[in-house]
Structure 1
């Protein structure tokens, strides 16, 4: 997945803590040239052969000209295979010129829309802050269809403009328009949230995302709540809002495929799923985040990378060395496995031995590390069937064999640990065939379950390392 970031906005929304900048004028030609160069540099560093999806985020990427979007897509296609039907998502805000601009984006190569602003929020009752969330696809984010709530959020558009934007988007992107909604605003009631959902169901396409508002320190809204100028929503109300929304959407034919994302008629977002499956993604632009193996720099393990946040400094670095990576950290095999577990449990797929071991970012020739991964994970998952095949890193048969043997050694210890997890987590988790999955009742409680699960995983990882004569991982 390729994730280009456009860092500019027209104004600062009261709740948003994203990396964004409000400036009088943007030298778009300069920004475009740097986005193009960094896209090609990082794709080459990662030896990326194929791009499965592209997500333009921000900031407000719909403020960029369609030619900038087209230039980034063309740059990616020059160094990697970008299939004609690959999902290309754009976040957009409602405005007065929606039809003309959206038509331009469609001509540039965008085929899925998400309308509105970006929200750093997660599922109830508290946000999961370990990992970045994935925005939905072209993403229309009205966030609310209530003018008072929109003013509270600091949004520029009105409810009427939001409705018009949704209608325009659905005409241009039929079946591929996503709406993001925020709940848990200060002063918001269960009744007003229910009315918002009812209105949205009369407007929406086949993909919706629900996000609980997170009061981020440093934002205007958080300061107002901290001073007592606005009320902080009770935890019980937030949980009720989420649970009632799930029931409402289910009755309307939507399937919950992830903590915050709902789809019908098969309209799941490829981009979203790539995050929750812990797949490789390359972040491009100021403040962008990425997870990939930089083979071109001699890397052999997956890295967490963050690009320089300030646009001017980022452009200087891109002009100087081809990319503006500010921070990079090698992820240990245990850290990678923890991400697989924490992210995979957000989805209706859950985590399986096959999914967790067959990763394009696994170290080449890493049979031992892969074996420890399967052994540690095998303490939480039911054992494979007799004669069952576990795929190893990159499809390597030696890695697969080592992994399966290590997993089988863990079965006895795993049964005891699974019993402990069952006792600790009750009906929140289910153990179907070779998988670990949240139950519908457990999904809203995931942030409460994760610490115990990650602790069990770390303990078993260290135990397997000791069995293999490897030093303990203190993390």
Structure 2
């Protein structure tokens, strides 16, 4: 029996609409059968936990899509399954990504009652014009209200996402916006540069010149400026995009960057773990079926579509790519885990729900 800890990520791939900068595996919410989805998530969770033979779960991350569109009862059912078949650590971090709409804000208490103890809020911008360009379905006031409510429920355990290098954005306007956000945000901030790719709705108007985004040099100044503003406000950068004060780091994501094992559950989920229950000795990269409807139809305990055994070369590549994102770099212990010289404590479970 693996007595280590794993992290568990649950992704809810449905959204009410697709944002103009999004190119992820997402689906527009229509007539979702929450009961069937919940049953499949529970079944896959149980099967995956049995395959890994992990004894405790140290973190759970409900991501998306828009997981705040899921019913709180679904979140509670998944967490109950984890507790029943493995167990949650007493200090387990249970994060839910939240879209800061009035509906999302109104359900925060219900998600808290379901077992969530940390919120990650997709503010993205406090400029209403930018929010419209990004295709967001909230405005700046909705974002501020949601952050305030979340902080009331979990002070010190609320993260906000904010984007820069947006169309028409200047270094000065970016600094002003970030300082405004810091007046209300909690102890964790994630910065993301707008990156456009073919297939995104926003790509065409930028590519045609209809909209103009900051150039690479200006974008670099924006990033460095933000680092300075956050540092002055007491935040410590611990990863390329992530900043925390009062040690409010995302323990779940740190597990990825340190090369720990994790289990993915739900449509399109990715996992990296050793399937001990079937005699596995090498870590496998597992990908679940992408499309939610297909995933539910073919569900026989789990919807794993692809399994790849990772050799030392593959593991080394992942550890290097992930580890170099952190300010601590790649530790000696990280290489020891890679080479199989220490136990797989600190594993992570990834769950992907749609």
Normalised by the length of structure 1, the TM-score is 0.69
Check 1:24–1:394 CA distance in 2 against 1; reply closer, same or farther (3 A cut): closer
Asked if 1:217 is matched to 2:198, the reply is yes
1:157 aligns with one of 138, 141, 150: 138
CA shift, 1:84, in A, is 2.7
Which residue is 1:6 aligned to? 12
1:393 aligns with 2:350: no
Do residues 97 (structure 1) and 99 (structure 2) align? no
The match for 1:45 is 51
Task: Tell me by how many angstroms 1:307 deviates.
Answer: 0.7
Structure 1 residue aligned with 2:332: 353
Q: Is the 8 A contact 1:175 1:206 kept in 2?
A: yes
Distance 2:33 2:151 in 1: 31
Distance (Å, rounded) in 2 between the aligned partners of 1:295 and 1:230: 52
Which of the two has greater helix per residue?
1
2:310 is equivalent to residue 336 of structure 1: no
2:70 to 64, 67, 72: 64
CA contact (8 A) 1:16 1:216 kept: no
SS in 1 for 2:143: helix
State the Cα distance separating 1:99 from its structure 2 match. 4.5
Aligned with residue 148 of structure 1, among 119, 129, 140:
129
SS in structure 2 at match of 1:157: coil
Aligned to 2:352: none
2:160 is equivalent to residue 179 of structure 1: yes
Contact 2:9–2:265 (CA under 8 A) maintained in structure 1: yes
- The residue matched to 1:85 in structure 2 has which SS? strand
| Aligned match of 1:133 | none
Contact 1:289 1:307 in 2 (8 A): yes
Q: Which residue of 2 aligns with 1:291?
A: 272
User: Kindly tell me: are residues 24 and 81 of structure 1, through their superposed partners in 2, closer, same or farther at Cα, counting changes over 3 Å?
Assistant: closer
Alignment of 1:250-289 (within 5 A): 250-289=231-270
The structural deviation recorded for 1:81 is 2.4
Report what 1:83 is aligned to. 89
In the alignment, which residue of structure 1 is the partner of 2:42? 36
Say which is worse superposed, 221-230 or 73-82, in terms of deviation: 221-230
| SS of corresponding position for 1:94 | coil
Alpha-carbon distance between aligned partners in 2 of 1:224 and 1:43, rounded to the nearest angstrom: 46
Larger strand proportion of the pair: 2
Is the Cα contact below 8 Å between 2:237 and 2:243 reproduced in 1? Answer: yes
Shift of 1:24: 2.2
Q: Please give the secondary structure, in 2, of the residue aligned with 1:49.
A: strand
- The yes-or-no answer on 1:207 pairing with 2:188 is yes
Cα distance per residue 1:386-428 (max 9 Å; x no partner): xxxxxx2329xxxxxxxxxxxxxxxxxxxxxxxxxxxxxxxxx
Deviation at 1:101, TM superposition (A): 0.4
**Matched residue SS, 2:55:** coil
Q: Using the alignment, how far apart are the partners of 1:330 and 1:77 within structure 2?
A: 28
Give the secondary structure class of the aligned counterpart of 1:55.
strand
Return the offset for 1:186: 2.2
Larger Rg: 1
Residues 98 and 168, structure 1, Cα contact 8 Å, conserved in 2: no
3-state DSSP of counterpart to 1:257: strand
1:304–1:329 Cα contact (<8 Å) kept: yes
Aligned mates of 1:309, 1:298 — CA distance in 2: 27
The verdict on how the C-alpha distance between 1:20 and 1:98 changes in structure 2, with shifts beyond 3 A counting, is: closer
Task: Map residues 15-26 of structure 1 onto 2, 5 A cutoff.
Answer: 15-26=21-32
Pairwise CA RMSD: 1.4
Distance 1:354 1:169 in 2: 36
Tell me the distance in 1 between the aligned counterparts of 2:195 and 2:17. 19
Note closer, same or farther for the CA distance 1:327–1:224 as it changes in structure 2 (3 Å cut): farther
Select the structure with the greater relative contact order (CA < 8 A; seq sep ≥ 6): 2
Is the Cα–Cα contact under 8 Å of residues 188 and 249 in structure 2 kept in the other structure? Answer: yes
TM-score with structure 2 length normalisation?
0.92
What is the deviation of 1:23? 3.3
Q: 1:347: Cα distance to partner?
A: 1.2
Task: Deviation per CA, 1:124-173: give whole Å up to 9, x if none.
Answer: xxxxxxxxxxxxxxx01110000000001000101111111111111111
Residue 39 of structure 1: how far off its partner (Å): 0.7
Question: 1:98: Cα distance to partner?
Answer: 4.3
Aligned residues: 338
